Structure 1
Amino acid sequence: MSRAALVVIDVQESFRQRPIWAYASQPDIVAQVNRLVDAARRRGDLVVWVLHAEPGSAGVFDPAAGHVRLIDGLAPAAGEPTLVKTSHNAFTSTNLQQLLTQAGIRDLTVCGIRTEQCVETTARVGCDLGYEMTFVTDATVTFPIPHRDLPADATPEQILADPRTLSTEQIVTRTEYALAGRFATVRTVAELTAAPAGA
């Protein structure tokens, strides 16, 4: 049995309900995640699915709205756990660490939504907990981030028109710089799904 796991974070319908989804950094996220999942299953790695919920919020992350579910095209196989978190990282509000400890897993690969938020935070916390973390940037999604002074109800068009807005390219670059050599090894889907030499 492998001592590695792939953790798929928040690739859920909630995000597709927001207008900013049209500006997602990786529109092909389902295919990218499926490539990682298929490779993990072939290796015998554990695949863990994580969803984010904000009960009682009346928003797209409120389970009552019906959007706290994997995006169509993604599906856990038998025996693959699905955890629901209420924190930014996948550890604090779930039993993920217990699950990994019981399985003897020390190597974690993370992907999902959003690059600099829940996925990056999980990588940082996982590193602090002693896991060997791999961050697959091109299997993550982020969106343009408005300046803190822009009104909370700004439209995607207003966000994109503001010169202070961080682009998805800037966010990805900053995340990779912050994680690499400190909290995680940054890898690509192609690197992690390539056939082993001699295979």
Structure 2
Amino acid sequence: MSRAALVVIDVQESFRQRDIWAYASQPDIVGQVDRLVTAARRRGDLVVWVLHAEPGSGGVFDPANGHVRLIDGLTPVAGEPTLVKTSHNAFTTTNLQQLLTFAGIREITVCGIRTEQCVETTARVGCDLGYEMTFVTDATVTFPTPHRDLPATATLAEILADPRTLSVGEMTARTEYALAGRFATVRTVEEVTGTDRAAAGDGTGVGAAQPEPAGVRG
């Protein structure tokens, strides 16, 4: 039985309903996640799908509006649970920890949307719960992020024009700096899947470098 799991967080249609999707940091999030899922299934790792819902909100995360579903191109197979959360991390409002404990999981790889929000928060909580966390940055998505003093009613054009807005590159870099050596090992899709492909004998010959240990956590 594998001791590892891939947790795919909030790669859902809700985000594509927002205009800011056009500025997503990783337009091919489906392709990147699919690479991780394919490799995880080949290794016999557990794949867990997580969706975010805000019932009664009337917005894109309200299940009543039909957008709380995986983006087309991603489909769980038999034995892969789909959990629905209402918190920023994938643990607090689901039975994820119970599920992982029952399966004997000690190592978790996370990917999904958003880089610095639900995916990062899940990595932090998972680390605090004692799991060995891997954060696959280029299989996450973030967006231009407004300054805290910009009104909540600001338009997308105003957000993009504001010099205080953090770019997707800045948001990604800040997340990596915060996680690496503290809460997770930061890796790329190629690093996670390269060794797996080489071991499978697909002719690529690509091998991933071994990651540095996560170091002191806390």
After alignment, is 187-196 or 75-84 more displaced? Answer: 187-196
2:182 maps to 1:186: no
Q: Note the C-alpha offset of 1:44.
A: 0.2
In structure 2, C-alpha distance between the alignment counterparts of 1:40 and 1:102, rounded to whole Å: 18
Q: Note the C-alpha offset of 1:153.
A: 2.2
SS at match of 1:194: helix
Q: Note the C-alpha offset of 1:94.
A: 0.1
Bigger RCO (CA 8 Å, 6+ sep) = 1
Q: Note the C-alpha offset of 1:154.
A: 1.6
Match of 2:166 in 1: 166
SS at match of 2:195: coil
SS at match of 1:192: helix
Match of 1:101 in 2: 101
In structure 1, C-alpha distance between the alignment counterparts of 2:41 and 2:70, rounded to whole Å: 18
In structure 2, C-alpha distance between the alignment counterparts of 1:133 and 1:195, rounded to whole Å: 18
Q: Note the C-alpha offset of 1:150.
A: 1.3
Residue deviations 1:100-137 (CA, integer Å, cap 9, x gap) = 00000000000000000000000000000000000000
2:43 maps to 1:38: no
In structure 2, C-alpha distance between the alignment counterparts of 1:92 and 1:150, rounded to whole Å: 29
SS at match of 1:5: strand
In structure 2, C-alpha distance between the alignment counterparts of 1:90 and 1:195, rounded to whole Å: 28
Q: Note the C-alpha offset of 1:148.
A: 1.3
Q: Note the C-alpha offset of 1:195.
A: 3.4
* Runs of 4 or more consecutive aligned structure 1 residues displaced over 3 Å after TM superposition: 195-199
Give the paired residue count.
199
Gaps of 5+ in 2: 202-218
Match of 2:215 in 1: none
Match of 2:126 in 1: 126
In structure 1, C-alpha distance between the alignment counterparts of 2:147 and 2:99, rounded to whole Å: 38
2:78 maps to 1:111: no
Gaps of 5+ in 1: none
Match of 1:83 in 2: 83
Residue deviations 1:127-165 (CA, integer Å, cap 9, x gap) = 000000000000000001101121212222211110000
In structure 1, C-alpha distance between the alignment counterparts of 2:183 and 2:195, rounded to whole Å: 26
In structure 2, C-alpha distance between the alignment counterparts of 1:153 and 1:43, rounded to whole Å: 46
Query: What amino acid sits opposite 1:36 in the alignment?
Result: L
**What is the TM-score with the length of structure 2 in the denominator?**
0.90
Match of 2:216 in 1: none
Query: What amino acid sits opposite 1:79 in the alignment?
Result: G
**What is the TM-score with the length of structure 1 in the denominator?**
0.98
Query: What amino acid sits opposite 1:179 in the alignment?
Result: L
